[in-house]
């Protein structure tokens, strides 16, 4: 049977380390790419906020507010309140990196206006995913420590699976938003050919962070399943 420290010292912990390294590498890639193209000014001279407003207007979306939020790369679209929030490094910046990020968030607003199915699924999963990310692993640990392999451990694994599912569903949502962003930037003349290519590099680097997060979650789930099976064999 697993000892009290077995959960943390067992060989399957390498799966957690691999997931963490993937996330660190993806984050470093994004930061490096964004920093590089934040130095390249967009020829249109538009700021992130101005580009976002133009894209929304062109898409016939007039009920979404654009707000400035503190931080770096804290940009996001809030579908419940219909607010597109741009970070300090994007809102007033005229770089191709800022324009690309702003356009990506507009992509989410367009998805929302068009009832894009994966976005609706992801939004519906948010409450369950929050519960899964907070309670899944603790339930498994408690089940392993107190020998509740047939009750608490499976519940913990299934609950954590909801968080994993959310990460997986997020992937098509993010990739689609980036694809929409690049098309809109090009069609509206906000960026030229080479500038659109730069934006693509920034958005691709951002997408890798979501891929890494999903992979890390899957590896963590695999570890929980392996621990559960190993614990039953040791009983």
Burial class (CB in 10 A: 0-12, 13-18, 19+), 117: exposed
105 is an active site residue: yes
Q: From the candidates 50, 67, 105, 195, give the one annotated as an active-site residue.
A: 105
pTM of the entire predicted model = 0.87
Taking the CB of residue 225, how many other CB atoms lie within 10 A of it?
Answer: 17
- Cβ contacts of residue 2 below 8 Å, gap of 6+? 10, 144, 227, 230, 231, 234
Burial class (CB in 10 A: 0-12, 13-18, 19+), 5: exposed
Taking the CB of residue 222, how many other CB atoms lie within 10 A of it?
Answer: 14
Say if CB 99 and CB 66 are below 8 A apart: no
Domain boundaries, the chain: 6-234
pLDDT (tens digit, 0 to 9) for every residue of the chain, 235 residues total?
A: 344 344 445 788 899 999 999 999 999 999 999 999 999 999 999 999 999 999 999 999 999 999 999 998 999 999 999 999 999 999 999 999 999 999 999 999 999 999 999 999 999 999 999 998 888 888 887 877 776 666 778 888 999 999 999 999 999 999 999 999 999 999 999 998 899 999 999 999 999 999 999 999 999 999 888 877 755 555 5
Cα–Cα distance measured from residue 231 to residue 148, given in angstroms and rounded to the nearest whole number = 10
Nearest CA to 177 among 36, 88, 92, 77?
77
DSSP SS3 for 67: strand
């Amino acid at each position: 049977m697993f000892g009290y420290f077995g959960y943390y010292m067992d060989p399957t912990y390498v799966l957690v380390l691999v997931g963490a390294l993937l996330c660190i590498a993806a984050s470093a890639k994004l930061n490096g790419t964004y920093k590089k193209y934040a130095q390249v000014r967009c020829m249109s001279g538009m700021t992130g906020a101005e580009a976002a407003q133009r894209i929304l207007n062109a898409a016939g979306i007039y009920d979404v507010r654009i707000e400035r939020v503190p931080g770096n790369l804290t940009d996001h679209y809030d579908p419940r309140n219909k607010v597109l929030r741009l970070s300090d490094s994007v809102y007033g910046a005229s770089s191709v990196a800022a324009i690309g990020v702003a356009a990506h968030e507009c992509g989410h607003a367009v998805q929302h206006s068009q009832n894009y199915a994966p976005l609706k699924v992801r939004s519906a999963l948010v409450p369950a995913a929050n519960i899964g990310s907070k309670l899944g692993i603790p339930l498994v640990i408690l089940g392993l420590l107190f020998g509740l392999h047939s009750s608490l451990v499976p519940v913990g694994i299934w609950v954590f699976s909801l968080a994993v599912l959310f990460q997986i569903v997020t992937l098509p949502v993010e990739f689609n938003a980036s694809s929409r962003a690049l098309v809109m930037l090009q069609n509206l003349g906000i960026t030229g050919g080479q500038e659109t290519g730069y934006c693509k590099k920034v958005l691709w680097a951002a997408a890798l962070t979501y891929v890494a997060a999903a992979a890390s979650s899957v590896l963590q789930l695999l570890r929980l399943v392996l621990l559960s099976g190993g614990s039953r064999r040791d009983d």
